[in-house]
Chain A
Amino acid sequence: MIELNDVRKVFPARRRAGEVVAVDGVSLRVEAGEFAGVVGPSGSGKSTLVRLVNMLERPTSGSVTVDGRVLSALPDDQVRAARRSIGMVFQHFELLDSRTAAGNVEHPLELAGVGRAERRRRAAELLDLVGLGERADAHPGQLSGGQKQRVAIARALAGRPTVLLCDEATSALDQASTTSVLELLRRVRAEFGLTVLLITHEMAVVKAVCDSAVLLEKGRVLDSGRLSEVLTREHSPLGDALLPAPLADAGAGHDGVLLRVTVTDRTPETLVLQTLVGQLGLAVEVAGGSVETVTGGRYGRLLLRAAGDLERLDGAVRRLRDDGVLIERVPGDSGAVAAAGAGR
């Protein structure tokens, strides 16, 4: 379990730059066994946020609690001990070139004072787990990016952590390696009941593995929630970021009105189309959007352009909404309606 309570991190002014508020009053909670993602543009404070969890950065104010221990209140030596139960994986792997794959996995055990025989046994076991049992004696330079990250994950798991922090763990990897590393993360999370906090700027990664997510902007939480919730919520900044509905250029040369539909399992777009096309006899085209299957559910954001006799449209939209369909007219589009009406 990870809990941040009104955490602020301010970096003091440097010679040329003024002080930087990297994290500005963030509160969040990741339940034990949950796979949580933190997304946001670069410079939004994601990397600082993840470092606040294991005290690589100490908060300026606010508290950080991991598995019931208030880390932000502990002195350095106790923080060091606590870090052993928090694994961390980095964008650029950060394996030691002076050690073999097995030597890298043994490193945290060595630091914890585990005996040589036990270290060896455990490293072999972990490398098997990540599918690199054969490459135990390889140096990082002889491994591919995906393999390096697998070794790094094995290393992060060596101390039998309860929490795993991933800082852009797949951002330096190609598509195939990303997929396999994410699969591995999901597997180890299930196998060890890990709580995972994953930082990424890739929405696809969040959709592939996370139960919940936080959208960070300028050091603040803009939106958060379980994926199934934010994806079915209209105007959720996080949901819209995960399933972007490009706002089609509604103007010039196009007749009709724009309708925004939030597609979910319960409100499929077929119902919408039936109403608009079947009942109202409108000409409907898809102006943009995406529908995807995310962790088993079907979600989407659709932008429809309807043209024809629009008089009954508002009533139909209202009825659809009453039935629980997330549909609305895109505001500021009345000019197009007027033009369409005049054209008939």
Chain B
Amino acid sequence: MSDWGRIYPQLVEATGETLYMVGVSALLTVLFGVPLGVLLTVTAPGALAPRPALYRLLGLVVNLGRSLPFIILLFLVAPVTRGVVGTTIGSTAAIVPLTIGAVPFLARLVESSLREVTPGKVEAALSMGARRRDVVRTVLLPEARPSLIAGITVTVVALISYSAMAGAVGGGGLGDFAIRFGYQQFRTDVTLLTVVLLLAVVQALQWAGDRWARHVARA
């Protein structure tokens, strides 16, 4: 175990990369996924602003995004990544497929959260003279907040697992670290340590997410 001195800085760097990849892609996922989820909700037949054709199209795109195995998506979006970031290698480049993979996932969760807001509350707001966008802003999103936060937490946890895969194809991070230093060098202890670290990150996230959701539910 004399090589811990060599491995340790790499581990710290890998952890930093993971947090960076997951952090930025989580932010972008929320930025695109929540509006997409709202759009899916309101354009559904019988909903606030029914647009059956648009709803079906969005649904198709979202399902496509969700049915693709992430590892395939990684390669498929490489041209997009090159266009946006300039390269397909490195943590920054990994953010593009991570975001594209997680947006449809979150959008569906957002949609199901918003659907749980009882139609009566929407109707009440409409009876007060609310416009459709007022309904989204003052009724749907605030009423679904605890459930939305839970959905975002699940998505971020999924992003951590995706990020390990992205790492394996040149994105860096803990997944990449576990493969290079643990698996490929037959160092089970290093692999285990990485798993423990990932578990700690996931646990911390879930804990924080649950607390936040409980807090806004009580407020």
Contact of B138 among A56, A82, A107 (CB under 8 A): A107
Would you list 30 pairs from A and B whose C-beta atoms are within 8 A, ordered by A residue? Answer: A56-B123, A80-B130, A81-B129, A83-B126, A83-B128, A83-B129, A84-B128, A84-B129, A86-B127, A90-B124, A92-B118, A94-B118, A96-B138, A96-B139, A96-B142, A96-B143, A97-B143, A98-B143, A98-B145, A98-B219, A107-B125, A107-B138, A110-B138, A111-B125, A111-B128, A111-B129, A111-B130, A111-B138, A112-B129, A159-B129
B130: chain A residues within 8 A (beta carbon) = 80, 111
Residue A54 interfacial (CB < 8 Å): yes
B118: chain A residues within 8 A (beta carbon) = 92, 94
Residue B211 interfacial (CB < 8 Å): no
Residue B134 interfacial (CB < 8 Å): yes
Residue A153 interfacial (CB < 8 Å): no
Known: A83-B127, A108-B129, A111-B130. A90 touches B142 (CB 8 A): no
Residue A88 interfacial (CB < 8 Å): yes
A317: shortest Cβ distance to chain B, in Å? 52
Q: Is the CB of B120 within 8 A of A99?
A: no
B51: shortest Cβ distance to chain A, in Å? 16
Q: Which of A172-198 contact B (CB under 8 A)?
A: none
B131: chain A residues within 8 A (beta carbon) = 80
A86: chain B residues within 8 A (beta carbon) = 127
Q: Is the CB of B142 within 8 A of A111?
A: no
Q: A56-B127, A80-B131, A165-B127 are in contact. List 14 more A-B contacts (CB 8 A).
A: A54-B127, A81-B129, A83-B126, A83-B127, A84-B129, A88-B128, A90-B123, A94-B118, A96-B139, A98-B145, A98-B216, A107-B138, A139-B219, A155-B128
In whole angstroms, what is the CA distance A84 to B139 when docked? 17
B156: shortest Cβ distance to chain A, in Å? 23
In whole angstroms, what is the CA distance A90 to B121 when docked? 10
In whole angstroms, what is the CA distance A92 to B118 when docked? 10
A81: chain B residues within 8 A (beta carbon) = 129
In whole angstroms, what is the CA distance A99 to B145 when docked? 12
Q: B interface vs A, CB < 8 Å?
A: 118, 120-121, 123-131, 134, 138-139, 142-143, 145, 216, 219
A82: chain B residues within 8 A (beta carbon) = 129
In whole angstroms, what is the CA distance A84 to B130 when docked? 9
A54: shortest Cβ distance to chain B, in Å? 6
In whole angstroms, what is the CA distance A159 to B134 when docked? 17
In whole angstroms, what is the CA distance A155 to B121 when docked? 13
Known: A81-B129, A83-B128, A99-B142. A111 touches B134 (CB 8 A): yes
Interface string of A1-19 (1 = CB under 8 A from B): 0000000000000000000
Q: Which of A53-107 contact B (CB under 8 A)?
A: 54, 56, 80-84, 86, 88, 90, 92, 94, 96-99, 107
Chain B residue, CB-CB nearest to A152: B124
Q: Is the CB of B126 within 8 A of A98?
A: no
Known: A88-B124, A90-B120. A98 touches B129 (CB 8 A): no
B46: shortest Cβ distance to chain A, in Å? 10
In whole angstroms, what is the CA distance A296 to B216 when docked? 50
B207: shortest Cβ distance to chain A, in Å? 23
B126: shortest Cβ distance to chain A, in Å? 6
A80: chain B residues within 8 A (beta carbon) = 129-131
In whole angstroms, what is the CA distance A96 to B219 when docked? 12
A275: shortest Cβ distance to chain B, in Å? 55
Q: Is the CB of B121 within 8 A of A96?
A: yes
When A and B form their complex, which 7 residue pairs have the shortest distance between CB atoms, in order from nearest? A94-B124, A108-B128, A98-B142, A88-B127, A83-B129, A94-B120, A84-B129
B144: shortest Cβ distance to chain A, in Å? 9
A112: chain B residues within 8 A (beta carbon) = 129
Q: Is the CB of A159 within 8 A of B120?
A: no
In whole angstroms, what is the CA distance A83 to B127 when docked? 6
Chain A residue, CB-CB nearest to B139: A96
In whole angstroms, what is the CA distance A82 to B127 when docked? 10
Q: Interface centre among B127, B138, B143, by most A CB within 10 Å?
A: B127
A88: chain B residues within 8 A (beta carbon) = 124, 127-128
A84: chain B residues within 8 A (beta carbon) = 128-129
Chain B residue, CB-CB nearest to A77: B131
A97: chain B residues within 8 A (beta carbon) = 143
B125: chain A residues within 8 A (beta carbon) = 107, 111
In whole angstroms, what is the CA distance A90 to B127 when docked? 11
Q: Is the CB of B143 within 8 A of A92?
A: no
